[in-house]
Structure 1
Amino acid sequence: MNQPLLVFNESGIYCQQADVYIDAWKPVNKCIVTHGHADHSRWGHKKYITHHNNVPIIKHRLGEITVSGKKWNESFTINGVRFSLHPAGHIVGSSQVRVEYKGEVWVFTGDFKTEDDGLAEPYIPIKCHTFITESTFGLPAFKWEPQSSVFNDINTWWSINKQEGKTSVLFGYSLGKAQRLLHGLDTSIGKIYTHGAVENMTDVLRPMYRLPETIRITRDTSKEELKGNIVIAPPSAHGGTWIRKMVPFTTASASGWMTFRGARRRRAIDKGFVLSDHADWDGLLQSIENTQCEKVIATHGYTEIFARYLREELGMDARTQQTQFEEEGAEVGSKTESGVHE
């Protein structure tokens, strides 16, 4: 093709032939949205297209919007360009976007992870000519342990805290990470309490996904009720007056950044669990191989290092592209609550 099928401009990732954006960061007429995190689903578009499991999520977060939901692998054509959504495995309802025009196929991953967490629809590699990938954890240092091992550590930590008469406070973003944590907790140890932002989002997801019973923390919730149990809260709740009612408590964060000890110290938490909703180094490389792509565009994270490795070590046609997607670890606002991803 003379002109790339997808280009990057001041508003986002744009398909000129179809006059459609993907995960636009400025208001546009029509936007395909990969998932519900605030850096990928922005407020202000006239029309939204997304997977049907993501429809209630973005309606909850963005308010009244015009949105149409699609099924996995369902093709829809706009001005001759064929689009379809495929599981990304990042969080519940997250998708990759396949774009095809005159035999040319591009895939935009959005955010993705390759391990099946048992809750989000598992990632499926899609063959393409050009692969636009995140590289949030595009360094060899990032290699994830199996989820079962991590949750064994989390549940052991909770059990020990209970024996010591402490409340366990575990931080994870209200959309995605929080529900993954809920799904992996051993409810035989005790009760699960939730911050209001986590409970609100979990209520939205319960009709579509199997999640354990939780108890919303209110002003009337006492220290004695919380003692020995576990609380799931967004990182933004750490350090506020809200957490004082949990004394004595111990804190932990579940994030890929917990690979580095310094990240735990900076967040002033007691314990770190390496659990990410993004692909690790090996997952990124394996995904690229599975697509059989000819070109790779790295959009956010360790883009320069990752693209250089692809070029110099693997001989691939790889480059970087700056976007306005947030790096993991920062929370950004929406109309109803904050939270992006880990």
Structure 2
Amino acid sequence: MMKMMKTIEKIPGGLMLVPLFLGAVIHTFAPKSGEYFGSFTNGLMTGTVPILAVWFFCMGAGINIKATGIVLRKSGTLVLTKIAVAWVVAVIAALLIPDGGVQSGFFTGLSVLALVSMMDMTNGGLYASIMQQYGTKEEAGAFVLMSLESGPLVTMLILGTTGLAAFEPQTFVGAVLPFLIGFVLGNIDNDFRTFFSKATHTMIPFFGFALGNTIDLGVIVETGLLGIVMGLLVIVVTGVPLMLADKFIGGGNGTAGVAASSTAGAAVANPMIIASIKPEFMPVAQSATALVAASVIVTSILVPIITAYWAKYMNKKKGASVGEQTNNTSAL
């Protein structure tokens, strides 16, 4: 038997990106396929919003409010730092990048929407798996609050507070309500949490496929090298503040900060979701989606490697310090 699932899971963000690529191929070469088949097939190919709504609900249900103080401190530090960095980037980028995005040169397709979407969400699953290997159990559990970054809410807040977009209050409520209802139900009854949390992984490929059916592969080809550069930029621009925050506020040695410097797979959806709410972003949504997808891949590959290097460096440094203390004690 073919082990397709295991192969897909070996690809960084594969459960999201492989179906997304398949959908993009269909949309590029047969853009009217959903309309042609209609019915449930059309719903599967164009149902980004309802699929995402169910995903957010199940994600909220899977978060346990009974987290330890260490976990909340660590995750809160990382989440707030990541959001703060994305906000500062948005403020600076708004001064340099036109409303319709860059239209020519190497940075063609780059927009404030793309930058914010890349930087304001951490890949929680990637972070947890890295920290299970290179950190403590409490540090690994810090992904608990990272789920709150998922979805368009934080991106909307950043764009709104920087004056780049105006969202009605009910729009913010509507974006987070499914998540909150799931969160409440999951913490009222553990059976709800167990039942609904199982669906969070299951929904990812369906959502990725529907999202892919909004993307023209020609745009991805055009932004290829720029996407790689942006992925590297995300690691540097968010990684350095995250390391400092982890060390001086979170009580760590910077490893958790490096591990959190990725772009979440779910961030790929944000440009199109924001554009569906505020149509003025639609002209830059496709190129932003392509850039975010590239950043997901680049950060998913490099962040584990950089984290491993940093963790080994810190362990070696710690070992040397312990050795010096032992020698000093012996000399006394």
TM over 0.5: no
Bigger RCO of structures 1 and 2 (CA < 8 A, at least 6 apart): 2
TM-score interval, smaller chain: under 0.3
TM-score by length of 1: 0.21
TM-score by length of 2: 0.21
Q: Which has the higher strand share?
A: 1
